[in-house]
Amino acid sequence: MLGAMARILVTEKIADRGLDRLRAAGHEVDVQLDFTPDTLPSLVAGAAGLIIRSATQVTAEVLAAGRDLVVVGRAGIGLDNVDVPAATAQGVMVVNAPQSNTLSAAEHTMALLLAQARNVPQAHTALVDGRWERSRWEGVELSDKVLGIIGLGRIGTLVAQRAQAFGMRLVGYDPFVSAERARQINVTLMDLDDLLATADFVTIHVAKTPETAGLLDAERLAKAKPGLRIINVARGGIVVEADLAAAIASGHLGGAALDVFDTEPTTASPLFELPNVVVTPHLGASTREAQDKAGETIAEMVELALGGDFVPFAVNVAAAEASETVRPFLPLAERLGALFASLTAGASGPLEIDYQGQLGGYDNRILTLSVLKGFFGRISDEPVSYVNAPALADAHGIEVREVATTTTVDFVNLITLRRGEHTMSGTLAGHNGEPRLVAVDGHGVDLPPSPHMLVVRNEDRPGMIGVVGTVLGEAGLNIADMDVGRSPTGAAAMMVVATTEAVPVEVAEALRAVPGIVSVHSVDL
């Protein structure tokens, strides 16, 4: 159950501080480092969370065995070893730690760049073997050389900053980065072939996808500037290793420095036989600081996922990253969804979510997921997460529509839900951004969306407020907050009541039996 103590299976070495965080939250941390592919399915059975690094293969079979899984956490960036589509289909959130090793990867790129330029490991090996080969390992300066950067994300940008300090001229290839953004980091954008024909060194900083696998093959390498040297600390397989080895052996390319390989671990490659190639065994994230950050980050993400909260680094949730303007509205959106599900029981038609004011100018997909999470959390018999909420909407045949406008009348920001004849609106108010319910079915109200609420429709006649208060008081229920909703005509024909405890079914039935009460909707968040 989300939020309760859960068993979390850990199959690879994770920083102790991350695991201690999960234990402190009340979870059972089950560390099982001596597993095999055959034993993993039985180990994952009954676990709500699974934390891995790069060695554990989370296949569709493993996921199927983990019927209670809520989240799979990868303490690092790459997810080559996780069947993300199968996890998504099963409603399992997949999270990683995308920022934990960016600095380490950028620094290792610079280390390999310098090692390749100055032949550091080759000269070291010769000297400790008793050979003083000073003339053989003459290098080149980085200053005034052209560095081509393939991929201008976080790591590529950090490399650009550091290479600039060495006096290098920067060109880049990234179809998702604007020319203006590239200019801000002093990079001139080019298409890939032009970059290869211009650069003296090339570093790679893109994810391995169907589009980037084999990106640098024999045909493309043949177009490269003679003497080009390639550094790859991203993912193996982006450069075709056999083609790279052939291009270096022929003398067309000047050399390479590789930290990643198509198959890992690997201890044999034609690249290893070439004297102008530097290799390391996937050390890009292998710093104490990166491992600590990855362990702590993934523990935080898993804790959030098990608590049913917003998870910034969920990779299989649309718009997992929310802007600072949008993020404070996530709890409000989820509560509105839950309240609205109770109010609209039996209604049909599409669910429309309207974002007004400043919110209307932002990407609000994560808010929509929060609304759906709250809505289906009230009506579904299975745990609802950001991952499976859209699938539940499809399964229920509910079309979800988003509407956005930057104009609003009474509030800076407003979220309004509509379905059938029902509407509900909420906002954040005051300096502390307190959530407020401000309209229900066209009736203006003003109170916080509380864990236990009643929406009471009544005939517009004196004494109705007292009747409701009497019934609740006789049942021993305290009223925490209450507002009388007024329609545009001024008729006080609705009450929204927040109680300190859940309203029992028999009390709601007693209210419905009172003359003048039209309907009673109860919700327990």
Active site residue 264: yes
- Give the active site residue among 21, 27, 282, 419: 282
Active site residue 474: no
Task: Tell whether the torsion through CA atoms of 36, 38, 43 and 49 is positive or negative.
Answer: positive
Q: Which of 96, 63, 2 is nearest to 374 (CA)?
A: 2
Active site residue 282: yes
Q: What is the DSSP string of 71-105?
A: EEEESSS--TTB-HHHHHHHT-EEEE-TTSSHHHH
Give the sheet arrangement for strand 201-204, strand by strand: 188-189, 169-173, 146-150, 201-204, 229-232, 255-258, 277-279
Q: Which of 141, 109, 112, 121 is nearest to 275 (CA)?
A: 121
| Distance (Å, whole) CA 341 – CA 376 | 7
3-class DSSP state for residue 288? helix
| Distance (Å, whole) CA 402 – CA 418 | 11
- Give the active site residue among 138, 141, 211, 264: 264
Tell me the sheet residues that pair with 484.
Answer: 495
Structure tokens at 171: 């060109």
Distances (CA, A) of 302 to 49, 136, 424, 431, 521: 7, 52, 32, 31, 34
* CB count in 10 Å sphere of residue 275: 10
> Cis peptide before 265, with omega less than 30 degrees from 0?
yes
Do 145 and 200 meet the contact criterion of CB atoms below 8 Å apart? yes
Amino acid letter for position 471 = V
Q: Which of 92, 100, 101 is nearest to 302 (CA)?
A: 92
- Residues serving a catalytic function are 235, 264, 282
